[in-house]
Structures are given as structure tokens and as C-alpha cells.
């Protein structure tokens, strides 16, 4: 699957998803693009999953008509995320179109 990694997450997560094609928002040249427009760009470019730590995204966006799945992590810091990589990979592996999943990764901390 094609996964878009939000600019708020550590790029190291790319390496934790070797069975997927993972690109970052920054690599795509979309840094600073707001959520609604970002999801449209992602879908138009064939991304199937958007991996983020923006928990408000599901409330801000109507996912019913979207083809992209959202996977939201509750932490940004690599040291907090690392012990939860198995759960993150499982969430990405099982994501389906227009779904929203939260992966609990302990206490929220900015990375």
C-alpha cells in the first residue's frame, strides 16, 4: 500500500513499514498544506493511508466520501513510538478505505 507520513511524525517510521511504499509530506513537497487539501492531494496521487499524529483530523474532515484511510498515533517522539511499532504496523496493514484508527502509544509528547 502507498502510505503518506505526515510532517509531524519522525521519518524513521518509514523504515518500520518495509512492506509498503512510504513517502513523507515533505518529500512530496506538500509541507504546510492544510489537512483537507492534503488529503485531496494524497488521494489524487494514489496514497491509500495517511499516517499522522493529528487526532483532530477525524473531527475536521468528513471521511465518508474519502478513499484514503487515516491512522492516528497518540505520540510524536520516536522513543515513545518505537516500543509500539508492532501496533503501528498492524494498524497500517489492516487499514481500509475511509476508515480512522487510533494507535495508543502512551503519553502524548511532541517530538
Q: What is the mean pLDDT of residues 27-47?
A: 93
111 occurs within a structural domain: no
CATH code: domain of residue 88: 3.40.50
Distance CA 72, CA 85 (A): 13
31 occurs within a structural domain: yes
CB proximity list for 7: less than 8 A, separation 6 or greater: 24, 25, 26, 31
pLDDT at 107: 62
Q: What is the pLDDT of residues 38-49, one digit of tens each?
A: 999 999 999 999
**In what side-by-side order are the strands of the sheet with 21-24?**
21-24, 2-5, 49-52, 69-73, 100-103
43 occurs within a structural domain: yes
59 occurs within a structural domain: yes
Higher-pLDDT residue of 108, 67: 67
DSSP letter string, 12-71: GGGGG-TTSEEEEHHHHT-TT--HHHHHHHHHHTT--EEEES-TTHHHHS--TT-SSEEE
User: What is the number of domains present in the chain?
Assistant: 1
pTM score over 0.85 = yes
78 occurs within a structural domain: yes
Q: What is the pLDDT of residues 52-63, one digit of tens each?
A: 998 776 566 666
86 occurs within a structural domain: yes
Length of the chain: 111
36 occurs within a structural domain: yes
pLDDT at 42: 96
pLDDT at 89: 96
Domain enclosing residue 30, as ranges? 2-103
Amino acid at each position: 500500500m502507498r502510505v503518506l507520513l505526515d510532517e509531524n511524525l519522525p521519518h524513521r517510521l518509514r523504515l518500520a513499514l518495509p512492506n509498503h511504499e512510504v513517502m513523507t509530506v515533505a518529500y512530496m513537497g506538500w509541507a504546510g498544506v492544510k489537512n483537507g487539501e492534503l488529503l485531496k492531494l494524497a488521494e489524487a496521487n494514489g496514497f491509500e493511508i495517511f499516517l499522522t499524529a493529528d487526532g483532530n483530523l477525524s473531527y475536521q474532515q468528513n471521511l465518508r466520501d474519502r478513499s484514503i484511510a487515516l491512522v492516528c498515533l497518540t505520540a510524536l517522539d520516536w522513543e515513545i513510538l518505537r516500543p509500539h511499532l508492532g501496533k503501528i504496523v498492524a494498524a497500517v496493514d489492516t487499514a481500509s478505505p475511509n476508515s480512522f484508527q487510533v494507535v495508543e502509544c502512551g503519553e502524548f509528547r511532541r517530538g
